[in-house]
């Protein structure tokens, strides 16, 4: 036996083939696992947050509707961010992306509120498509005024349902949900509506309209 082979055999730090196999087996990921859901959608896992389970269930259901519509609005912004055209391309390209990111923050805030109520938040695209009440836009590119109008209509849908749901949450004593709807959803959407709506005001770009000014006098 060669000297090197003998030394390696006597070296206790040198792992045997069996040890290598055992180590690899322990580190191997356990794939293709299946089991029952630990919490079905629509069911509440009671948490010690001092709210009645029925209140939590109602708020979670309402927030999931807001969540589906907010995800849809967020994605509508990204669609128009990619497809905007014309002399205001650069400004609107940036604005649409800014609003997209703000809506994305809302998505996380709403989903986390649902989970903190003991509910299950919607997440997958097909579930969102089945739930949202925002009309589906065409796949192709539209003119800028149509893009902005479509976004404003989506905002109004979200704001209408958010106000109704905020009142309900307040009546039920669910202050956390009311705060999310008022402080986050409503205020963010109202501000974005203002930024968008100003782009549809028919104001001359380089010369004031003297005829309209005289009529106003």
Residues 5-59 pLDDT 10s: 555 555 556 667 666 666 677 778 889 999 999 999 999 999 999 999 999 999 9
* pLDDT, position 209: 74
162 has a pLDDT exceeding 60: yes
Evaluate whether residue 110 is within a structural domain: yes
Mean pLDDT across 179-200: 97
- Looking up tokens 């014309």 gives 86
Mean pLDDT across 79-87: 96
Average pLDDT, the chain: 91
Contacts 24+ apart (CB under 8 A), 160-164: 161/62, 161/65, 161/66, 161/69, 161/133, 162/66, 162/186, 162/189
Domain hosting 127: range is: 53-200
Residue 186 CA to residue 169 CA, distance in Å, equals 14
Residue pair 111/121 in contact by the 8 Å Cβ criterion:
yes
Q: pLDDT category, 180, cuts 50, 70, 90?
A: very high
Which are the contacts of 52, defined by CB distance < 8 A and separation ≥ 6?
A: none
* pLDDT, position 171: 98
The per-residue pLDDT for range 98-152, each reduced to its tens digit, is: 999 999 999 999 999 999 999 999 999 999 999 999 999 999 999 999 999 999 9
Evaluate whether residue 20 is within a structural domain: no
Which residue stretches of 28-52 are H helix?
none
* pLDDT, position 213: 62
Evaluate whether residue 67 is within a structural domain: yes
Coil, helix or strand at residue 40: coil
* pLDDT, position 186: 98
Nearest CA among 58, 49, 45, 74 for reference residue 165: 58
Evaluate whether residue 24 is within a structural domain: no
**Backbone torsions φ then ψ of 128, nearest 5 degrees:** -65, -45
Task: Give me the CATH number covering residue 88.
Answer: 1.20.1260.10
Q: How many domains does the chain have?
A: 1
* pLDDT, position 210: 74
Q: What is the DSSP string of 113-173?
A: HHHHTT-----SHHHHHHH--SPPPPSS---HHHHHHHHHHHHHHHHHHHHHHHHHHHHTT
Helix, strand, coil share (%) of the chain residues, nearest 5: 65, 0, 35
Mean pLDDT across 178-190: 98
Evaluate whether residue 181 is within a structural domain: yes
The CA-to-CA distance between both ends of the chain, in Å, stands at: 112
Q: pLDDT category, 204, cuts 50, 70, 90?
A: confident
Evaluate whether residue 130 is within a structural domain: yes
Evaluate whether residue 17 is within a structural domain: no
Evaluate whether residue 3 is within a structural domain: no
């Amino acid at each position: 036996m060669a000297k090197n082979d003998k030394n390696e055999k006597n070296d206790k730090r040198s792992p045997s083939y069996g040890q290598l196999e055992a180590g690899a087996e322990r580190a191997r990921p356990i794939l293709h696992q299946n089991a029952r859901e630990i919490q079905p959608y629509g069911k509440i896992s009671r948490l010690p947050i001092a709210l009645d389970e029925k209140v939590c269930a109602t708020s979670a259901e309402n927030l999931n509707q807001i969540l589906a519509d907010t995800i849809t609005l967020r994605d509508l912004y990204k669609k128009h961010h990619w497809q905007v055209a014309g002399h205001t391309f650069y400004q609107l390209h940036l604005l649409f992306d800014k609003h997209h990111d703000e809506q994305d923050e809302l998505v996380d805030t709403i989903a986390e509120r649902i989970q903190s109520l003991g509910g299950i938040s919607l997440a997958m695209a097909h579930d969102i498509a089945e739930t949202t009440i925002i009309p589906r836009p065409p796949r192709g590119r539209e003119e800028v005024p149509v893009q902005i109008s479509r976004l404003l209509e989506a905002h109004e849908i979200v704001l209408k349902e958010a106000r109704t749901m905020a009142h309900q949450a307040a009546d039920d004593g669910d202050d956390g949900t009311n705060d999310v709807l008022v402080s986050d959803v409503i205020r963010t959407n109202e501000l974005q509506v203002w930024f968008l709506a100003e782009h549809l005001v028919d104001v001359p770009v380089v010369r004031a309209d003297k005829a309209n000014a005289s009529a106003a006098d």
